[in-house]
Chain A
C-alpha cells in the first residue's frame, strides 16, 4: 500500500569506487561546513538586543489609565474570577471626594496584586475585564526575580506610567502582517522596552 509519493526504493547495491574512496565525500562535507563558517549568524545577543515578539505575545501585566490619567480598574473582580491559576487578588475601596482625577469610577482597587509565580499568561483576565483596564503587554517580559518579595506585583509595578503609555499597534492578523512588513522595510523601528519603575 502506497501512502505517500515520497517513498524511495531501498537498494543494497555496491558502492562505486569513487564512493568507496571516502575522501571525495569528506571534501564535499568540508566544503559544506566551511560555507556555514562564513554564513550569516542567527544569534541575537539577547540582553542587549531584543527581538520583537509580535503583536499577539502576552507578556507583563499592566493596569491601564484612561486618557485623563485616571485608573480604569473598578475592582469588580472579574479578572480574578476568570483567572484559572488564581493569581490575581484585590481589595476594593470607595472613591472619596476630590479623588475624581485619580479614579474613573466610584469604586477602585486599593490593592491589586498579581502573583507572578502562579500566572500562566493565558490572557483570560484581559478578556474578562469589562473596563479594559488589565492587559498583558506584547513587548515586555516579566523580569527574572530572585527574591520572594519580588514575586507578588502590586499596583506600583502594574499601573501604567502616563509619560510612557502602552499602546498595541496591531490587533488583527492582517494588521500584524502589515506592520511586520513595514518593520522589515525599516519604516517602523522596534518597540523600545520600558524599564521597570
Chain B
C-alpha cells in the first residue's frame, strides 16, 4: 500500500464516520419534526431555519449539564458504558457500501470504509457487542433498577439477534457471499432481494427495531416499570451518548436493510443512465457522476427507512415484556427457520430449472 492509497483510504473512512455522525445528529431533529407532523404540530422551528440548528442547541445543553457520577458507582465502567455503546454503533458503519467506485486519474476509490469479504459477519459481530454498552452501564450504576433494566435490554437484544441472524441466512444462501458489496452488485437491474424474501424482510426489519431498542420494542427504557431502565443514573452528555448511539444504530440498520433487501445503490434504469452519462461526459466524469447518483439513491433508501422507524414509533404502542419474548422466540424464530427451508428448497431445485429455462 503506497502513501496515496493509504491517505485516500483514511479520508474515506473519516468521511464515512463523519457522515454517519451527521446523519445521526439530524435524525434527532427529524424525529422531533416527524413527531410534530404526525401529531399535527410543527416540531422544533426556533433554532435556525426550520429548526435546523436544533441538534447543536441540544448538544450545547447536554454539555453544560452537570456531569454526575453516583458515589457508589464504578466510576470507570460508568464512563465506559456510553462510550462502548457509541463505539460499537459507529464501528458497524465502516463496511456499508455507500456507492460503487470513484475514478480519479485511473485510481479506483471504493465508497466504502473497509472492503471486507466478511462484511455482514463483521456488522453482526460489532452490533452484538452493543449489548455490552447497555450491560456495563446498567451494572456500573450500582442500582437495582438500572441492573434490572440492563438485564431486560440484554435479553431482548440477544433473543432478537437470533431471529435476525436466521432471517439473514436466507439472503446469504441466495447470494452465496458474505461481502456487502457483492450482495449489492448481485441485485443489479431491479433484481432486489425484497421480491424473493418478503417474509425474511419482515422478520429482519422487526428484529432491527428490537436491536435499535426502538418502539414498539423500547423495553430497555421503560420508564413506567423501571424508573428509567439501564440509564436511570445517567445524565448530561453520557445520557446523550446512549441516545445518540440509538440514532447511529438506526442509521446503520436502515443502511443494512437498504443494502440487503433494496439493492443499495442500484436503481431501475441504472445501465441506461450510465451509458448516457459516459457517452456525454467522457468515461471518467460520466462514471463519477453516475456513482454520485447511485450514492444519492442509496441515501434516499436509507433515509426513508429512518423515516419509517420514526413513523412506526408514533404509531404502535410498546409491547409488554412477555409479549416481546413470545414474539421473538415463538413466532419470529420458527418463521425464520421456515423461511430458510423454503429458500433452501428453491435454491436447490428451482434455481437450476429457471437458469436452464432462461438460457
CB contact under 8 A between A36 and B311, given known A23-B202, A26-B316, A29-B316: no
- Segment at the A interface, from B35-43, B52-60, B172-180, B237-245: B35-43
B-binding residues in A (CB < 8 A): 23, 26, 29-30, 32-34, 36-43, 45
Q: What are the nearest 6 A-B pairs in CB distance? A: A43-B42, A33-B315, A29-B315, A37-B37, A33-B38, A36-B38
Q: What chain B residues lie within 8 Å of A40 (beta carbons)?
A: 40
Interface centre among A23, A26, A32, A33 (most CB of B within 10 A): A33
In the complex, whether B212 has a CB less than 8 A from a CB of chain A is no
Residues A42 and B37 in contact, CB atoms below 8 Å apart? no
Residues B315 and A26 in contact, CB atoms below 8 Å apart? yes
Q: How far is the CA of A42 from the CA of B38 in the complex (A)?
A: 12
Residues A34 and B40 in contact, CB atoms below 8 Å apart? no
In the complex, whether B314 has a CB less than 8 A from a CB of chain A is yes
Apart from A26-B316, A41-B42, what are 20 other A-B pairs with CB-CB below 8 Å?
Answer: A30-B311, A30-B312, A30-B315, A33-B38, A33-B311, A33-B314, A34-B38, A36-B37, A36-B40, A37-B34, A37-B37, A37-B38, A37-B311, A38-B37, A41-B37, A41-B40, A42-B40, A43-B42, A45-B42, A45-B45
* Shortest beta-carbon distance from A124 to chain B in Å: 38
Q: What chain B residues lie within 8 Å of A26 (beta carbons)?
A: 312, 315-316
Closest residue of chain B to A43, judged by CB? B42
Q: How far is the CA of A37 from the CA of B315 in the complex (A)?
A: 12
Main secondary structure of the interface of B (DSSP, over half): loop
Q: What chain B residues lie within 8 Å of A45 (beta carbons)?
A: 42, 45
Q: How far is the CA of A42 from the CA of B42 in the complex (A)?
A: 8
Q: What chain A residues lie within 8 Å of B37 (beta carbons)?
A: 36-38, 41
Q: How far is the CA of A37 from the CA of B314 in the complex (A)?
A: 11
Q: What chain A residues lie within 8 Å of B311 (beta carbons)?
A: 30, 33-34, 37
What are 13 A-B pairs with beta-carbon distances under 8 A?
A: A30-B311, A30-B315, A32-B315, A33-B315, A34-B38, A37-B37, A37-B311, A40-B40, A41-B37, A41-B40, A42-B41, A43-B41, A45-B45
Q: How far is the CA of A38 from the CA of B312 in the complex (A)?
A: 16
Q: How far is the CA of A29 from the CA of B316 in the complex (A)?
A: 7
